[in-house]
């Protein structure tokens, strides 16, 4: 009997190739997306809780007050001794770990290049957090001066091999020098390290580092390196101690001298922080990105399941007739149920197998896009396989249950007479739901794309303004020669010294001010508009500065031009005020800014729009001519610089863009299958209409009217939903690209045209068919 069942199943697939292909393809795509995102999200939550005793460990934040009532919460600070003080004062604090970050350059064959991920850390880091070590003794490495641990990927990039034990590494490190009078200053100095440990970074870990060296407690106690980087402190509380209790105890301790309130942040909250504050020590995941990604993946799976169930429903009439005949000839309900269950299970298992093959093939690309470092084995750990089993059970069981709900013995006569022809409302509902989901995703995608385009081009001519990497021009003499000779390139319209973003921050009378160093050409290159006063010139005194409107507003200066203030013993005079312009993340309001001509060191050029590529090629050639032994010429456009400030949003945009197209393709495939079925089952009706005098266009109108109605209903449902989700997402930005009604109309027209193109070929084929042939075959 089982052999007969399998034969009938394969015969059914062969007879209904279109439906089978659409069903299986939809399942493959939906399962691939949902399994991939489920594994990704599950792995992120595993990382957030992967550290030993993570429930008792906290990242230490300190609040500082600026701008009157505005509080800034910062992880990093200049006081590494804070951990020692807390441990000595409060017995509830059981342990601590301190990282120190500072700028580092790798020196290789006389050339220097800046690297990220260099940290000094207490040797107790090994005992507390148990990092994965491939070779060597990490704890001993951190205790010995002159030794360093590197990650496997760094060793491969630097030395071309994983086993770099014993290799020498020359670093140019920011160092603090303390004078006899107690004052300190920083300088860059070369240090030679021996690699004695290799760290495993094959998977994404809670902490993100490339190089680790030891941090002596004596240096922490004196805050020796506070001027050349930031200390990041992690506190371990005794079991049973609540973070809020120790926070309140510290706040109430008047003898504990601190600049702000202590905040103990759970490690999972540190990992899922909405912004990266730890200089890359932790590659924070914005939780909004995870929520949206998982929701969209499930929406795609829902569309795929609707396709599968919908096509199963549309075949119900044929299946019921065949099943009814089998039951008349003696087949039991149990046997028929088994046959249907086997058929459904075979399709779903085949789809799952292909989905895992696709995941295995495309996992490296996925990891590269989302910095995930997922392993294929991660999809078989945690809750991911259980989620998958639950989804598969629903997809396998629901269509079978639906079909057998129609197999009562009282219905057999109707089945055999083919009277059971009324389409289920559930089918209509699922088609509308599919289109509604696709339209919501498209509305969201278009609005996200418009906002990301606004971010990249919020400054005029952003694609044609080239920012030259400051590291390229570390040699001041070479940099000056290169800057001067840029004027010989005809495609370059403007050249200036200056940074497009900021060069740092200063504090004046308890208020902060962002700082940009620029020459007199800077204002013309960026087309900055002056509200009051004028820009400084090449002959102006170095203490003449330009500020933005935010300075005037925050500092409440009534007559800004000519106003003076002092910083580090230097008096500054405001000669002009420019309109506020964006120079930072668009999720933050424009802050006070000072533009000074004192120490400009970054070159920026504006090139001709038509000859941008030619200008860049000539700049690269010029740099190679001037400095053949220096590092390669590196650059980015101003638009790219703003995109890089919004990396999470960029990744999310790519995610929703891909998933939106996938959802629309799946929806159209489902619509194609339904249209095919509808046309095939209405051939006799179409023939009779044509015999009665109906034209091809009239026949097409009859066949398409149902689909038009479904798309319109879906659009009306999706319109407010898509608008709501867009508004919720765009709230994170202070500066927004406003939504317009044309965006929604455009999406609606696009989906309508795509939907109509999906069904028009089939309906036209049926409309032009000779009615005599149809009636003969019937």
The Cα–Cα gap between 737 and 741 comes to: 13
Digit-coded pLDDT (tens) for 301-317:
888 877 777 676 666 55
The phi and psi torsions of 20 (rounded to 5 degrees) equal -65, -45
Please name the helix (run of DSSP H) or strand (run of DSSP E) that holds residue 259, with its range, or none. none
Q: 104 or 112: which carries more pLDDT confidence?
A: 104
- Min mean pLDDT across 1-5, 75-79, 195-199, 534-538 is at 1-5
User: Mean pLDDT across the stretch 221-237?
Assistant: 76
User: Mean pLDDT across the stretch 313-339?
Assistant: 55
Q: Is the pLDDT of residue 418 over 50?
A: no
Residue 646 near residue 582 (C-beta atoms within 8 A): no
Specify the pLDDT at position 195: 93
pLDDT, averaged across the chain: 79
The phi and psi torsions of 150 (rounded to 5 degrees) equal -130, 155
Q: Is the pLDDT of residue 410 over 50?
A: no
Specify the pLDDT at position 229: 72
The Cα–Cα gap between 298 and 302 comes to: 6
Cα-to-chain-centroid distance, residue 147? 36
N-terminal to C-terminal alpha carbon distance within the chain: 33
Q: Is the pLDDT of residue 186 over 60?
A: no
Q: 413 or 228: which carries more pLDDT confidence?
A: 228
Tokens of 632: 């390669």
User: Mean pLDDT across the stretch 397-422?
Assistant: 53
Q: 256 or 269: which carries more pLDDT confidence?
A: 269
| Dihedral of alpha carbons 671, 677, 683, 686, sign | negative
Per DSSP, the residues of 324-340 read HHHHHTT--HHHHHHHH
The phi and psi torsions of 282 (rounded to 5 degrees) equal -125, 125
What confidence category does residue 6 fall into, taking pLDDT thresholds of 50, 70 and 90?
low
- Strand 104-108 with 133-136, pairing: unpaired
Percentage of the chain modeled with pLDDT above 70: 77
Closest by CA to 718, choosing from 441, 448, 305, 445, is 441
Residue 353 CB contacts under 8 Å (≥ 6 apart), including other chains = none
Specify the pLDDT at position 536: 93
Digit-coded pLDDT (tens) for 609-656:
888 888 889 988 988 888 887 777 888 899 999 998 888 788 888 888
Digit-coded pLDDT (tens) for 433-467:
888 888 898 999 899 999 999 999 998 888 999 99
- Min mean pLDDT across 177-181, 319-323, 568-572 is at 319-323
User: Mean pLDDT across the stretch 192-207?
Assistant: 89
Digit-coded pLDDT (tens) for 90-102:
889 999 999 988 8
Q: 196 or 304: which carries more pLDDT confidence?
A: 196
Q: 184 or 716: which carries more pLDDT confidence?
A: 716
The Cα–Cα gap between 45 and 703 comes to: 50
Specify the pLDDT at position 683: 67
Residue 494 near residue 470 (C-beta atoms within 8 A): no
Q: What share of the chain is helix, strand, coil (3-state, %, to 5)?
A: 55, 20, 30
The Cα–Cα gap between 42 and 34 comes to: 12
Q: Is the pLDDT of residue 76 over 70?
A: no
Specify the pLDDT at position 774: 54
The Cα–Cα gap between 6 and 209 comes to: 56
Specify the pLDDT at position 57: 92
Q: Is the pLDDT of residue 334 over 80?
A: no
- Tell me 524's DSSP state: H
- Residue listed under structure tokens 């058929």: 343
Specify the pLDDT at position 775: 52
Query: Is this model's pTM higher than 0.85 or not?
Result: no
């Amino acid at each position: 009997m089982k052999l007969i069942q399998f034969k009938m199943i394969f015969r059914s697939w062969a007879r209904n190739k279109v439906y089978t292909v659409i069903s299986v393809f939809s399942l493959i795509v939906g399962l691939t997306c949902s399994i991939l995102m489920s594994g990704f999200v599950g792995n992120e939550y595993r990382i957030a809780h992967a550290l030993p005793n993570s429930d008792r460990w906290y990242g230490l934040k300190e609040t500082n007050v600026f701008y009157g009532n505005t509080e800034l919460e910062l992880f990093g600070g200049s006081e590494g001794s804070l951990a020692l003080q807390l441990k000595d004062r409060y017995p509830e604090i059981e342990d601590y770990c301190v990282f120190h970050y500072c700028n580092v350059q790798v020196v290789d064959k006389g050339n220097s290049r800046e690297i990220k991920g260099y940290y000094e850390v207490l040797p107790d880091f090994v005992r507390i957090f148990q990092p994965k070590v491939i070779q060597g003794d990490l704890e001993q490495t951190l205790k010995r001066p002159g030794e360093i641990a590197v990650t496997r990927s760094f060793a491969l990039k630097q030395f071309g091999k994983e086993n770099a034990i014993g290799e020498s590494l020359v670093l140019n490190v920011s160092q603090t020098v303390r004078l006899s009078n107690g004052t300190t200053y920083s300088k860059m100095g070369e240090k030679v390290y021996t690699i004695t440990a290799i760290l495993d970074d094959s998977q994404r870990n809670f902490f993100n580092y490339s190089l680790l060296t030891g941090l002596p407690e004596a240096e922490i106690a004196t805050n020796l390196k506070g001027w050349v980087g930031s200390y990041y402190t992690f506190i371990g509380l005794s079991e049973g101690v609540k973070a809020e209790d120790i926070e309140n105890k510290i706040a109430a301790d008047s003898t504990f001298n601190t600049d702000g309130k202590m905040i103990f942040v759970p490690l999972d909250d540190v990992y899922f922080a909405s912004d990266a504050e730890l200089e890359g020590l932790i590659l924070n995941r914005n939780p909004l990105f995870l929520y949206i990604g998982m929701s969209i993946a499930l929406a795609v799976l829902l569309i795929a399941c609707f396709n599968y169930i919908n096509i199963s429903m549309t075949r119900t009439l044929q299946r019921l007739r065949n099943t009814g005949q089998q039951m008349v000839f003696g087949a039991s309900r149990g046997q028929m149920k088994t046959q249907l269950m086997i058929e459904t299970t075979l399709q779903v298992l085949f789809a799952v197998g292909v989905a895992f093959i696709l995941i295995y093939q495309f996992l490296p690309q996925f990891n590269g896009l989302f910095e995930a470092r997922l392993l294929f084995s991660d999809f078989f750990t945690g809750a991911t396989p259980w989620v998958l089993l639950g989804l598969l059970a629903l997809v396998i069981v629901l269509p079978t249950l639906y079909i057998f709900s129609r197999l009562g013995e009282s219905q057999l006569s109707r089945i055999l007479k083919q009277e059971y022809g009324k389409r289920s409302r559930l089918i209509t509902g699922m088609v509308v739901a599919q289109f509604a989901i696709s339209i919501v995703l498209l509305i969201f995608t278009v609005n996200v794309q418009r906002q990301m385009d606004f971010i990249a081009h919020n400054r005029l001519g952003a694609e044609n303004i080239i920012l030259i990497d400051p590291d390229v021009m570390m040699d001041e003499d070479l940099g000056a020669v290169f800057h001067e000779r840029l004027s010989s390139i005809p495609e370059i319209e403007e050249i200036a010294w200056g940074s497009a973003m900021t060069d740092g921050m200063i504090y004046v009378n308890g208020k902060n001010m962002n700082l940009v160093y620029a020459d007199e050409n800077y204002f013309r290159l960026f087309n900055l508009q002056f509200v009051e006063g004028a820009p400084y010139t090449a002959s102006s005194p170095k203490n003449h500065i330009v500020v933005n409107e935010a300075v005037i507003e925050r500092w409440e200066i009534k007559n800004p031009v000519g106003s003076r203030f002092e910083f580090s013993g230097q008096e500054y005079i405001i000669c002009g005020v420019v309109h506020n312009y964006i120079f930072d993340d668009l999720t933050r309001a424009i802050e006070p800014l000072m533009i000074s001509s004192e120490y400009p060191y970054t070159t920026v050029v504006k090139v001709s729009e038509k000859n941008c590529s030619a200008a860049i090629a000539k700049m690269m050639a010029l740099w190679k001519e001037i400095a053949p032994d220096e590092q390669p010429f590196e650059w980015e456009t101003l638009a790219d610089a703003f995109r890089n400030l919004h990396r999470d949003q960029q990744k999310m945009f790519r995610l929703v863009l891909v998933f939106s197209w996938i959802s629309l393709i799946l929806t159209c495939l489902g619509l194609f299958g339904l249209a095919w079925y509808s046309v095939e089952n209405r051939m006799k009706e179409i023939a009779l209409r044509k015999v009665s005098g109906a034209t091809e266009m009239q026949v097409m109108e009859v066949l398409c009217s149902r689909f038009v109605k479904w798309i319109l209903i879906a659009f009306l449902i999706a319109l407010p939903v898509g608008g709501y989700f867009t508004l919720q997402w765009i709230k994170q930005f202070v500066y927004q690209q406003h939504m317009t009604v044309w965006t929604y109309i455009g999406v609606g027209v696009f989906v309508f045209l795509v939907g109509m193109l999906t069904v028009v070929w089939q309906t036209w084929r049926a409309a032009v068919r000779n009615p005599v042939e149809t009636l003969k075959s019937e």
